[in-house]
Structure 1
Amino acid sequence: MADTLEGRAEQAPGAAPRRRLTPAERLPQLLDAALEEFAERGYGGASMAGVAARAGVAKALLYHYVPGKAELFKAVVRSCIQPVFSEAERLLAGFDGSRAELLRRLFALGYARLAADRREGVLFRLLVAEGERFPELAAFYHAEVLSRGLALVEQVVRSGAAAGEFRPDLAGHPGLAPVLMAPVAMAGVWRLMLGEGQAPSPEAMREAHLALVLRGLGAAKA
C-alpha cells in the first residue's frame, strides 16, 4: 500500500521508475518535512497536507506512517532528542572519572545542543509559544524530555554524594535538578528573544553555571 501511494505521488507519467525508499529512509524525510512545516506555520497552523506536500508524497502515505498531527509532532521531538539522551546515557554508563567532571560534560552537551542544533531551537520556540494553547504538547514534553533530563542530573548528584564529592544534604532535594538545569533553558529563551548575535554567550554561561554549581555542591572544597 505504501509503495503504491509513494509511486502515485512521486512518479510522473512516462518517467523512468524511481527507486522506492525503504521505511528507514522515508521516515526521516517525512520528519524533516514536518519540522519545516511546524517551523513556518506553527503547530496550530501546520497540517498533514502541508507536510505531505513538502515531502513530495501523497497525504495517505504520511498517514500510513503516523495517525495525525499530534503524533507527527511527537515523532519529530523524539527524533531530535533521542540522540542527545543516548549520548548522555552512554556517557553516564561508561564514565569512571569524578562526578564533577561528569557534570561538566553533561552541561557541555546541553549547551552545545542548544547552540548548534536548529531543530531543537524550532521545537523549543513552538513549545514556548504554543504550549499553553496545546497543553497535551507541554505534557508530552514534560514526560519525555524534561523529566528524563532531570533524572540524569539527579543520578549524577546522588552518585557524587555517595562518593563523598557532593554535599549529601542536597542529593535528594526535590528542587535541585530543576534549579541546576534552569540556566540551560534560560539560555534558550534569551536566544529566542534576542537572536544569536545579541543573546548572552552560551559558552560563557556554561562556565559560570558550572563554577557556581560545583561550589554550591561542595565539589570545590572536596
Structure 2
Amino acid sequence: MASPRRQRLRPDVRLPQILDAAVEEFAVRGYAGASMTAIAGRAGVAKGLLYHYFPAGKADLFRAAVRSCVQPAFAEAEAILASRAGSRRALLRALVDMAYARLTGQPRDQVLFRLIVSEADRFPEIAEFYQAEVLSPTFALVRAVLRAGVESGEFRPEALEQPGLPQVVLAPVLMASIWRMMLGEARSPDLDAMRDAHADLLVRALSA
C-alpha cells in the first residue's frame, strides 16, 4: 500500500497524527517490528519530524503513545475523586466502571495494553515504564478512594491495612482485558456482568 503523501500541518495537529500512526504501526508490527521510517510513512510526515518530537527514537514515541491514552484516563479518575459527589461506594463503582470502559472498550487502549503484555518480557524497559507511569499511579488512586471511604466511615479501617488491596482491586479489570484479547468480543465472558459483580464484591467486602 502506498504511503500517505507528506503533509504540512500545524504542530497541534501533527503530534496527534504521529501518535495515531505509531499506535497503528505498533498494532500491526509489534514493538520490535515497528520502525520510525514506517511510522513516518503512515503519518505522512518526514522521518526527521519524528526525531524532532522524539529524539530518543522509537522508545520515546512508544512512551508518548501510552501517555496519550493513560493521561485522559487519569484526568477523568482524578476529576471523579475531586468532585466528592455522592458516597465513597458510588465513587468506587464509578472508577471500576471507568477502568472496564477504558481497558475493554477503547480500541487504542487495548492495542497498547496488548503490546505491553506481549513485549514486556523481551523489552524490560517497557515493563518498567508501565509500572512507573501506569500501574503505580493507578494504585495510588485506588488507595485515595479507600482512604476517603475509611475517613467517611463507609469502608472498614482494614481497607488501609492491606498493602496488596489496590492490586486486588485492579486485577479483574486486567484479566477482563486479557480475555477480550484472547477470545475476541464474541467469545469473551459477559464483561458487563463481570464489571457489576466486581464492583458489588468490592463494595460488600469493604463496607463498614
Normalised-by-shorter TM-score class: over 0.9
Match of 2:11 in 1: 23
Match of 1:203 in 2: 192
Q: Spell out, residue by residue over 1:169-220, the C-alpha distance to the aligned partner (whole angstroms, 9 max, x if none).
A: 2213210000011000000111111111111122111111011111111x2x
Return structure 1 stretches of 4+ with deviation > 6 angstroms: none
Q: Distance in 1 between matches of 2:61 and 2:167?
A: 28
State whether structure 2 residue 29 is matched by structure 1 residue 41: yes
Cα RMSD (Å): 1.2
Q: Structure 1 stretches of 5 or more lacking a match?
A: 1-8, 12-19
Q: Is the 8 A contact 1:161 1:168 kept in 2?
A: yes
What amino acid does structure 1 have at the position aligned with 2:75?
S
With normalisation by structure 2, the TM-score equals 0.94
Aligned to 2:63: 74
- 8 Å CA contact 2:104, 2:176 repeated in 1: no
Could you say which residue in structure 2 is the equivalent of 1:113?
Answer: 102
- SS of the residue corresponding to residue 187 of structure 2 reads coil
**Residue 114 of structure 1: how far off its partner (Å):** 2.0
| Cα offsets for 1:125-168 (capped at 9, x unmatched) | 11111101001011101111111111111101111112111110
Residue 37 of structure 1 contacts residue 50 of structure 1 at CA under 8 Å; is this kept in 2? yes
User: 2-side partners of 1:159 and 1:95: how far apart?
Assistant: 9
Q: Deviations over 1:22-81 (max 9, x none)?
A: 211100000011011100000011000010111111111111111200000000000011
- What is the identity percentage for the equivalent residue pairs of Structure 1 and Structure 2? 60
List per-residue Cα deviations over 1:71-122 (Å, max 9, x = no partner): 0000000001111110110111112321100000000101111232101111
Which residue of 126, 130, 140 corresponds with 1:141?
130
Higher CA-based Rg: 1
Q: What SS class does the counterpart of residue 111 from structure 2 fall into?
A: helix
Matched, 1:152 2:148: no
- Is 2:114 the counterpart of 1:125? yes
Amino acid at match of 1:197: A
For the pair 1:55 / 2:51, whether they are aligned, the reply is no
Give the unaligned 5+ runs of structure 2: none
Alignment of 1:77-92 (within 5 A): 77-92=66-81
Partner of 1:17: none
Residues 158 and 172 in structure 1, CA contact (< 8 A), matched pair in contact too: no
What count of residue pairs does the alignment treat as equivalent?
203
